[in-house]
Amino acid sequence: MSRDDTPRRTAGQAGERTTSSGLRRRAFLSSAGVAAGALAFGTPTVTADDYQPVTDVPGFSCDDPQFTCGREVTAADGMVSTVDPIASGVAAQILREGGNAIDAAVAIQYVLTVTQPHGSGIGGGGFMVVYDADSDTVECVNSRERASQTASPELYRHDGEYDQDIETGEAMGTPGTVKGLETARERYGSCSRQRLIDPAIRLARDGFTVDWFLAEEIAENTDKFNDAAIETYSDDRGNLYEEGDTMTNPDLADTLECIRRRGADGFYEGAVAADIAATIREYARDPDQVVDEDDLSTYDVTIDDPVRKEWRDVELVGQPMPSSGPTVVAMVLRMLEFLDIEEYDVRSAEKYHLIAESIYSAWADRMEYMGDDEFVDVPVDALLSDDYLQSRADPIEFGGTVFPDDEMGPGQPGETTHFSVIDKWGNAVSYTSTIEQFMGSGKMVPGRGFLLNNELTDFDAEPGGPNEPDAWKRPLSSMSPMMVLRDGRPEFTAGSPGGWAIVSATFQTILHRYAYGLSPLESITEPSIYTHHMGGIEWDEGVPQEARDTLADWGHEVDDEPSEIGNVQVIASEDGLLTGAADPNRDGQAVGFDREPGTNGDD
Ligand code: GLU
């Protein structure tokens, strides 16, 4: 997320969702003491047969008894965890048919383009962290959007001022998602492109049921929609889709058909690419600096080695620059280890204080040093060195805060989606994908059915820092697709949407799991806090009043009302069993299967 004050969802708005099923569910789980166990929800084993109808019945809800929102799911032969039951069901079916984790992840992202267009899509980009069991290696498929090859550090200078408008062509980066998906499929997958994209095409063509979250995002973002978006998100009578409606998107079905036939070329070359470029140009202030057809046909992903950090008795791995996320996650977790955080109660002021102080510190380094490492020399090794992190942890004390600048409140999150897959061979995917804000720029490519990102607002508006805009540069991200490795093998995956809050949501989930020994679901629902270098603390419902009062006494600026920190999806792998959990603040869904319940399959 950028440093300027572009209009974003406010914490108040998020907190006002008290009537939504998701917030109620998460608050209930937290207050009912899920931190002490899964209670009446149990830990059911979900068999393949339970999900037989999934791809034949698009449009089902979390309230359907066959689904498992708010529960942990344990199975031996495959597990997916996404924000969307439809996507999870499609992916589980692919695993059951013999596809691997990467196949499932590709199918998930194509489905999310259709069913959850507010959070990610083919008009955006993302980071896919892949553990390949055959080669026993972790690689990152980096499909981050790039600025045009003609962009300059003055990209956002307009009428003599630096002004980063989220709806202009200058905000729209070269989309990377399709290239990322097709590269991942070719590099690690085993299924045909057609098999992996067909469920999304079917859903776009035949329709799916709009969930409460999509309905809310459609209603709240109409101001920035162009005509094509309004039309696509309205029914035949011209009314915006509401929860429970069946939505179709035939234009998107046609675009996906084009990719089905021609692969990534169907998106980056020819008529679709021409329409993308024309739409970006239409909203550009300076058409010479925005993404054009040449940028689209030139775009490619990079395959990155992950950032790695030993922590406790495991290893943290994740996407390196241009995401700051996993590096900051690792910095904070190591500082908290030096500070012996687990000695303090999981809901104590001391715990929250140590977390906040560590974030203030690491976030200051993020703003000072981090950017696209093709352009700036980011001292990652130095920032992650134990000597350095010990020196950053040492000054932290109880009774007062040393870092925040109280004059500035926290920034506001944008929106992405995170999902994870582990298959029976041990392959794993931890993938965070985005179009930046909710509904991205709000500008749909006419006739093509998908929204363009506004990812380039993740650059600083003004030149001079490591994250200034530049030609063909990638903006600094906070997305934190993480894996925790034990003896080199994935033991836990986690990630979240939420802009800068992604880092807070992700590392506290890992902290709860490893330092406090909570179950995968408890690790998500245990209340978290969110802050950054400018201070100000947002908090999940469930952070005790007493702890908040103490934090305020110690000098932190604590919000009056609760927020929702992230939307985390996790999978844990232990003793031959996979346990998945999706954040119950939305209708996320973990789905697993056993060919023989409770056992590992043998082929
Ligand atoms: N653009 C953000 C990032 O890359 C993700 C979107 C968001 O959740 O703000 O960090």
- At CB < 8 A and 24+ separation, what contacts does 132-138 make? 132/188, 132/427, 133/425, 133/426, 133/427, 134/425, 136/488, 138/305, 138/306, 138/317, 138/483, 138/485
Cβ of residue 417 lying under 6 Å from some atom of ligand 1: no
Output the pLDDT for position 402. Answer: 72
Answer yes or no: is the C-beta of 541 below 6 A from any ligand 1 atom. Answer: no
Q: Is residue 512 part of a domain?
A: yes
**Burial (0-12, 13-18, 19+ Cβ within 10 Å), 135:** exposed
Ligand 1 geometric centre to CA of 530 (Å):
15
Has residue 6 been placed in a domain? Answer: no
432 has which bridge partners? 127, 418
> In 3-state terms, what secondary structure has residue 335?
helix
Question: How many C-beta neighbours within 10 Å does residue 189 have?
Answer: 25
Q: What atom in ligand 1 is closest to the CA of residue 144?
A: 4
The verdict on the CB of residue 1 being under 6 Å from ligand 1 is yes
Question: Phi, psi at residue 299, to the nearest 5°?
Answer: -60, 140
**Dist. CA 249 → ligand 1 center (Å):** 25
Ligand 1: centre distance to CA 414 (Å): 6
Active site residues per annotation:
416
CA-to-CA distance for 223 and 230, rounded, in angstroms? 10
Mutate to test the pocket of ligand 1, among 9, 479, 567 (most ligand atoms within 8 A of CB): 479
Q: Give dist(CA 454, CA 436) in Å, integer.
A: 6
In this prediction the pTM is 0.89
238 is a domain residue? yes
Gap between the Cα atoms of 575 and 573, Å rounded: 7
Atom in ligand 1 nearest the alpha carbon of residue 432: 5
The residue nearest atom 3 of ligand 1, judged by CA position, is 477
Which candidate, 8, 83, 24, 21, places its Cα nearest to that of 562? Answer: 24
* CA–CA separation, 316 and 239 (whole Å): 47
Regarding the beta carbon of 92 and ligand 1, being less than 6 Å apart is answered no
CB 47 less than 6 A from any atom of ligand 1: no
Question: Helix (H, G, I), strand (E, B), or coil: what is residue 421?
Answer: strand
Query: Residue 467 burial by CB count (10 A; 0-12/13-18/19+): exposed, middle or buried?
Result: buried
Sign of CA dihedral 320, 324, 326, 330: positive
Closest atom of ligand 1 to 478 CA is: 10
Instruction: Tell whether ligand 1 has an atom less than 6 A from the beta carbon of residue 145.
Output: no
498 lines ligand 1 (CB under 6 A): yes
User: What separation in Å is there between the alpha carbon of 499 and the centre of ligand 1?
Assistant: 4
Q: Are 537 and 500 a contacting pair, CB within 8 Å?
A: no
Angle at 88 between CA 87 and CA 94, to 5 degrees: 90
- The number of the ligand 1 atom at minimal distance from the alpha carbon of 498 is 8
457 close to ligand 1 (CB < 6 Angstrom):
no
Q: Look at residue 146 and give its three-state secondary structure.
A: strand
Tell how far the Cα of 119 is from the centroid of ligand 1, in angstroms: 10
Cα 525 to averaged position of ligand 1 atoms, centre (Å): 22
Question: How far apart are the C-alpha atoms of 337 and 340, rounded to whole Å?
Answer: 5
Nearest CA to ligand 1 atom 1: 436
* DSSP tag of 236: T
In a domain, 402, yes or no: yes
The protein residue whose alpha carbon is closest to atom 6 in ligand 1 is 436
Burial of 234 (0-12, 13-18, 19+ CB in 10 A): middle
> Best substitution site from 3, 323, 455, 474 to test ligand 1's pocket, by max atoms within 8 Å of Cβ?
455
414 CB under 6 A from ligand 1?
yes
Nearest to 440 by CA among 176, 172, 249: 172
Residue 213 belongs to some domain of the structure: yes
Distance 449 CA to ligand 1 centre (A): 22
* φ, ψ for residue 433, nearest 5 deg: -140, 150
Number of helices (H), then strands (E), in the chain: 19, 20
Q: What is the DSSP string of 150-198?
A: T--TTTTEETTEE---TTSGGGPPBP-HHHHHHHHHHHH--S-HHHHHH
The single residue listed with the structure tokens 């990209």 is 155
Q: At what angle do helices 349-369 and 501-514 cross, to 10 degrees?
A: 130
Asked whether residue 548 is assigned to any structural domain, the reply reads yes
**Tally of domains in the chain:** 1
CA distance 189 to 181: 10
Here the tokens at position 560 are 């009056």
Euclidean distance between CA atoms 214 and 195, whole angstroms? 26
Q: Is residue 7 part of a domain?
A: no
Name the CA radius of gyration of the chain, rounded: 22
Question: Can you state the angle between helices 325-338 and 501-514, rounded to 10 degrees?
Answer: 40
Mean pLDDT per block of 10 residues along the chain (603 residues) reads 27 29 42 25 33 36 54 89 91 91 98 97 98 97 98 96 95 98 98 96 93 95 98 97 96 98 98 98 97 98 98 98 98 98 98 97 94 98 97 94 51 74 97 96 98 98 97 98 98 96 97 97 96 92 97 96 95 94 88 62 35
Cα 85 to ligand 1 centroid, rounded to whole Å = 23
Question: What CA–CA distance (Å, rounded) separates 59 from 171?
Answer: 33
Number of the ligand 1 atom closest to the C-alpha atom of 502: 8
Tokens of 537: 């603390």
- 479 ligand 1 Cβ < 6 A: yes
Measured CA distances, 416 to 35, 433, 438, 495 (Å) = 26, 6, 8, 10
At residue 589, the pLDDT reads 86
Assign 372 to helix, strand or coil: coil
Handedness of CA 221, 235, 173, 1 (dihedral sign): positive
Which atom in ligand 1 lies closest to the alpha carbon of residue 413? 9
Is there a domain that residue 532 lies in? yes
Maximal CA-CA distance, the chain: 67
Q: Are 484 and 419 in contact (CB under 8 A)?
A: no
- At 530, the amino acid letter reads Y
Q: Quick one: which atom of ligand 1 is closest to the CA of 416?
A: 8
Is any ligand 1 atom within 6 A of the Cβ of residue 478?
yes
Q: What are phi and psi of 301, to 5 degrees?
A: -80, 165
* Contact by Cβ (8 Å): 141, 130: yes
Q: Is residue 394 classed exposed, middle or buried when 0-12, 13-18 and 19+ CB atoms within 10 A define those classes?
A: exposed
Query: Which residue segment(s) compose the domain that 253 sits in?
Result: 67-593
The encoded tokens of residue 189 equal: 């997958």
The DSSP string of 523-592 is HHHS--EE--TT--BEEBTTS-HHHHHHHHHTT--B-SS-B-----EEEEEETTEEEEEE-TTTT-EEEE
pLDDT, position 600: 35
* Ligand 1 proximity of 319 Cβ (cutoff 6 Å): no
**β pairing state of 157-158 and 137-142:** unpaired
Regarding the beta carbon of 22 and ligand 1, being less than 6 Å apart is answered: no
